[in-house]
Chain A
């Protein structure tokens, strides 16, 4: 299992990458900056599982909270509205 690099409250950026394959990081959130809400544990990497490999070492999984206005520049609702997405550690970098 890989160690968790980020702590709750830390600011992180989702990698802006577009590799082929089975990716559980939605396109719309790539490149966005948010805050770690919690660490969910570690899970086999789904990108590897999809290729019939074992997905190990397990990847720490985070729930990252994004302000809607940082995801959609023209978001029409209040500035406090948020979006929370589960993201695996190898898709995150410090922000």
Chain B
């Protein structure tokens, strides 16, 4: 195994365990290498652009927004996005309330809409402090929430997965969905950032 500089390093404990388990599963005919490759490719193909598409649709279509808030899973399926197994709950930011998502127990994350979670989302620091002092954590992300805006932190402890529906930025009247989706990044849908419009 070599790192980026081309130096050889021994495998770590978990790398070795992954290879051993995968080779055993293939050897015993439980999985094929092709299935493993296809699943890895499938995971890589999920990016936050999927979530941004959902947000942009909710911004331009009030009836869709309503359906999304009522049943996130069904609303994603409407856009042809498969959200396997788990139930999706969309939580809406308003001038009165700002939402943010964390999983204190492990690293539950809406992978079907946002892809692979960033390392900080899985860090002990974020997981322990987001439920305890969310305003300080958000400030460290560069987000100051006014005192008169309620903060709602969602601890994703069980079978639900969450996505934040941010507020549509001012100055984007008349924009089409594709252009709007370009304003929505991963952090906005976790709730540690808000989309920036042309006036910001």
A residues near B (Cβ < 8 Å) are: 24-26, 28-29, 40-41, 43, 46, 61, 63, 68, 71-72, 76-78, 80-88
Contacts and interface: CB of A to CB of B under 8 A. Distances in A.
Contact of B155 (A43, A78, A84, A88): A84
Interface in B111-139: 131-136
A87 B154 CA distance: 12
A76 B135 CA distance: 9
Contacts of B134: 77, 81
Contacts of B154: 84
30 contacts: A24-B158, A25-B157, A26-B155, A29-B155, A40-B87, A41-B159, A61-B160, A71-B131, A72-B132, A76-B133, A76-B135, A77-B133, A77-B134, A77-B147, A77-B151, A78-B148, A78-B150, A78-B151, A81-B135, A82-B151, A83-B131, A83-B152, A83-B155, A84-B152, A84-B154, A84-B155, A86-B157, A86-B160, A87-B158, A88-B158
B158 A61 contact: yes
A41 B155 contact: no
B150 A81 contact: yes
Contacts of A76: 133, 135-136
Interface residues on B, range: 20 to 34
Specify which of A25, A26, A72, A83 lies most central, judged by the most chain B CB atoms within 10 Å of its CB. Answer: A83
A86 B150 contact: no
Contact of A24 (B87, B132, B148, B157): B157
Given A41-B159, A80-B150, A83-B153, 17 more contacts: A24-B105, A26-B155, A28-B132, A40-B87, A63-B89, A63-B160, A71-B131, A76-B136, A78-B148, A78-B150, A78-B151, A81-B135, A82-B151, A82-B153, A84-B153, A85-B155, A87-B157
Contacts of A72: 132
Interface of B: 87, 89, 104-105, 131-136, 147-148, 150-160
Contacts of A61: 158-160
Contacts of B157: 24-26, 85-87
A43 B151 contact: no
